[in-house]
A and B are shown apart, each in its own frame.
Chain A
Amino acid sequence: METGKHTLIALMENRPGVLNRAVSLFRRRAFNLDSLTVGRTDCEEISRMTVVVQGTRAEAARLARELERLVTVIRVEPLNGRPAVERDLALIKVTATPETRSEISQLCEVFRARIIDVAKSSMIVELTGTETKIEGFVELLKPLGIIEMVRTGLVAMGRADNVLDRNGHASSWVAHRERVQAERRAGEVS
């Protein structure tokens, strides 16, 4: 079976230890991760994870099932080549002398990168795009001297009707705690 990169998106409960569980699973089941990002969603109780894993399609599907087995993971879906947008963000600090500044800014224009900081001998450039685009940009900047660089890792979202449904609400005890806290606040006010 052919191995390659597979992107999975997962909705998880937004509470302490949830990421720890997912990471522990990757380690324990020996999955080879390319990148992992977690962030908030429009819903306070839910966070969303994008995982890029190396392996066969069957292995990626198995990772999805293993992740879904975690009680705090609400839904997992491998993108499996469905229409989706994928984005990575990079901040790159590059050596910039008066002679190279214009070359850097030209490159930035071509790649639609933004210069977000300019210092005496360096600049920080921000680029958002697919992994290939970022890698292409980095290759061109390398000869100019990259001082440091950071990437967020991939985030992904299905196009149009490819929606990862939230499928419910927070756990009983989270809902209960919110009720209690609301009551307390009400008590303090009155």
Chain B
Amino acid sequence: MILSGAEILWKSLQREGVDLLFGYPGGAILPAYDAMGSYPGIHHVLTRHEQGATHMADGYARATGKVGVAMATSGPGATNLVTGIATAMMDSSPIVCITGQVPLPAVGSDAFQEADVAGVTLPITKHNYLVTEVEDLAYILREAFHIAGTGRPGPVLVDIPKDVQLAKTEFQPPEGDIQLPGFREPGPVPAHGVTAAAELIAAARRPLILAGHGVLLSGAEAELVELAERTETPVALTLLGKGAMPEEHRLCLGMMGMHGHASTNHAIQEADLLVACGMRFDDRVTGKLATYAVNARKIHIDIDPAEIGKNVPVDVGLVGDLKPVLARLLEELEPARHPEWMESIAVRQADERARDVVHAGHHAERLLAAEVMHALWQLTGGEAVNVTDVGQHQMVEAQYYPHRRPGTLITSGGMGTMGFAIPAAIGAKMGRPHEEVWAIVGDGGFQMTMAELATAVQERVEIKIALINNGFLGMVRQWQEFFYDQRYHATPMVNPDFCKLAAAFGIPAERVDRVDGIADSVQRAQAHRGGPFLIEFMVEQHDVVYPMVPAGSDLHQMIRRPAITAEGMKWKPASTR
């Protein structure tokens, strides 16, 4: 069968099982868009900005476990993908980006809308390609999907010059296994290391498991719970590890790190053994490395050999897919109990509940983000898929919305990409249409990608949007309050009327400024069908996320919630113009 490059592209996407992709057309990718009409099995979502396409593909990938696909034209279209690609790279999310490129004879001539996107994205992709022969295209696409989705997932970019899209060749679907001599897939479970790890676990008196995104990517939730229960080892979660274990479980300590629970951070510092599962000792998790968990031996299990010993020296490093590694480890573990250890953690937890936790509904005249999140948790039964943006609301969600199931929190962790939530929520909802998907977003991040509301309306995507409006770039304001002598430079925002703005998009919207108004609005949002629904929560401007480990400080040196906050805080709700 003689096909053009453009037709081979769609045929290949079909063969990879792609039925949905997100993109934005332009000159150099037009042959591909022209051929799209002959492949009606693939639904193309027109975004309002290419960054939105990558976040949607990312949200879709995280929600479904499948590879997400984004498409853009050359030059500015391709460079607009960069933030989304870097986000996917940092959080190990499998996406394939297809970009148009100027025709090969023009490459290197500074042609109109030419950018060296393979060069630009080289350090932020797992791999990328510039296709120079139409004969290579089917194979390159096969490889691209394989690389994106295998091992530690990540983004792959395929840059296709316009003349390659137009050139014709005999289409032979790639057959047999992918042969990539330099691409290492997870190997067998390292037996020697497993025994060494089991010995450390058996000898530990204050063991602690650190569970990260890798648990979810590997599908090792059951093994994790079994490991925790059999050896009575409590589990601390990274931000992206939320959902790896039901947070109501008595052994689950919730989130660790900069805005983690104080009791959890103390437990890490006091532990005599850390079992790190699919996490990478990010600086937001460790605080100052020199004083991090100095009493603990460390076992690190990760699929990426380059992560072992990168930030924290370890006693036992196990490279492999977490699920089989944990299964193998469990074969060597006897039941154990650590009552004293659990008791000491419980004491800290009680102290934390009294000191740090905002209890909902105590003050009818003001609204705190924590109260909104607690109410959302109650009203959704803790079962919603939450897609959060970046900043205070993101940390408040992580603290006040205990997740029960894997894949119910989608957030930009490593990159901390503001503007992620709205497009990623659209992608997540399109990937899991039967779930209740909430985009939880601050007023700052919302305005970065709010153009994608039009995409949601056009595609009738039923996302619920909780816009947490405090009239500030809240997390930056918090840093200014703590570390920059309250010089609030460039953080107050004069915002548009978000409800009117939503109305302009054709989206029903409500404003809530009291705790007792939350339930009705949320229930109306839940009942709404046919498109998005927005609730603007007017929350306290000067609220701060506690506890906080200042960047570069010891993990146990946390700024705790001052006692006066509960009653004496001078409060000022965000206002509309």
A74 lies within 8 A of B179 (CB): no
Does B504 reach chain A (CB closer than 8 Å)? no
Complex: chain B residue closest to A172, CB-CB: B179
B310 lies within 8 A of A62 (CB): yes
Does A12 reach chain B (CB closer than 8 Å)? yes
B181 lies within 8 A of A168 (CB): yes
Contact of B178 among A12, A20, A172, A177 (CB under 8 A): A172
Min CB gap A17→B, angstroms:
7
Q: Mark A134-167, 1 if CB is under 8 A from B, else 0.
A: 0000000000000000000000000000000001
Min CB gap A138→B, angstroms:
36
B122 lies within 8 A of A176 (CB): no
Q: Mark B294-314, 1 if CB is under 8 A from A, else 0.
A: 000000000011101110000
Min CB gap B318→A, angstroms:
14
Bound-state Cα–Cα, A188 to B14, Å = 34
Complex: chain A residue closest to B146, CB-CB: A172
Min CB gap B174→A, angstroms:
6
Q: Max chain B CB contacts within 10 Å: which of A12, A13, A65, A73?
A: A65
Chain A binding surface, main DSSP class: helix
If A173-B140, A177-B135 touch, whether A71 touches B182 (CB-CB below 8 Å) is yes
If A171-B143, A173-B140 touch, whether A73 touches B182 (CB-CB below 8 Å) is yes
Min CB gap A66→B, angstroms:
5
Bound-state Cα–Cα, A168 to B172, Å = 24
Bound-state Cα–Cα, A76 to B182, Å = 10
A173 lies within 8 A of B139 (CB): yes
Complex: chain A residue closest to B306, CB-CB: A65
Min CB gap A163→B, angstroms:
16
Complex: chain B residue closest to A71, CB-CB: B127
Q: Mark B391-430, 1 if CB is under 8 A from A, else 0.
A: 0000000000000000000000000000000000000000
Cβ of B139: which chain A residues have Cβ within 8 Å of it?
171-173, 176-177
Contact of A20 among B122, B127, B147, B305 (CB under 8 A): B122
If A65-B305, A69-B306, A71-B147 touch, whether A175 touches B123 (CB-CB below 8 Å) is no
The A-contacting residues of B in range 128-143, CB under 8 angstroms, are 130, 133, 135-136, 139-140, 142-143
Does A21 reach chain B (CB closer than 8 Å)? yes
Complex: chain A residue closest to B156, CB-CB: A71
A: number of interface residues (CB 8 Å) = 31
Cβ of B192: which chain A residues have Cβ within 8 Å of it?
none
Complex: chain A residue closest to B119, CB-CB: A20
Does A70 reach chain B (CB closer than 8 Å)? yes
B179 lies within 8 A of A169 (CB): yes
Cβ of B304: which chain A residues have Cβ within 8 Å of it?
69
A58 lies within 8 A of B123 (CB): no
Bound-state Cα–Cα, A56 to B133, Å = 43
Does A180 reach chain B (CB closer than 8 Å)? yes
Complex: chain B residue closest to A167, CB-CB: B181
Does A24 reach chain B (CB closer than 8 Å)? yes
The A-contacting residues of B in range 165-194, CB under 8 angstroms, are 172, 174, 176, 178-184
A172 lies within 8 A of B306 (CB): no
Q: Mark A62-88, 1 if CB is under 8 A from B, else 0.
A: 100110111111110000000000000
A176 lies within 8 A of B174 (CB): yes
Contact of A176 among B136, B181, B310 (CB under 8 A): B136
If A62-B310, A69-B306 touch, whether A21 touches B182 (CB-CB below 8 Å) is no
Bound-state Cα–Cα, A12 to B123, Å = 17
A62 lies within 8 A of B306 (CB): yes
Complex: chain A residue closest to B181, CB-CB: A168
Cβ of B196: which chain A residues have Cβ within 8 Å of it?
none
B179 lies within 8 A of A171 (CB): yes
Cβ of B126: which chain A residues have Cβ within 8 Å of it?
71
Cβ of B181: which chain A residues have Cβ within 8 Å of it?
13, 74, 167-171
Does B342 reach chain A (CB closer than 8 Å)? no
Cβ of A68: which chain B residues have Cβ within 8 Å of it?
182, 184, 305-306
Q: Mark A9-43, 1 if CB is under 8 A from B, else 0.
A: 00011000100110011001000000000000000
A-B contact sample (18 more), CB < 8 A, given A68-B305, A171-B181, A176-B136: A62-B310, A65-B308, A66-B306, A68-B184, A69-B184, A71-B147, A71-B180, A72-B127, A167-B181, A168-B179, A168-B181, A169-B179, A171-B139, A171-B143, A172-B143, A173-B143, A176-B174, A177-B139
Give 5 closest A-B pairs by Cβ, nearest first: A173-B139, A168-B181, A65-B306, A71-B127, A74-B182
Give 6 pairs: A residue, B residue, CB < 8 Å, sorted on A: A20-B119, A66-B306, A68-B305, A68-B306, A69-B304, A70-B127
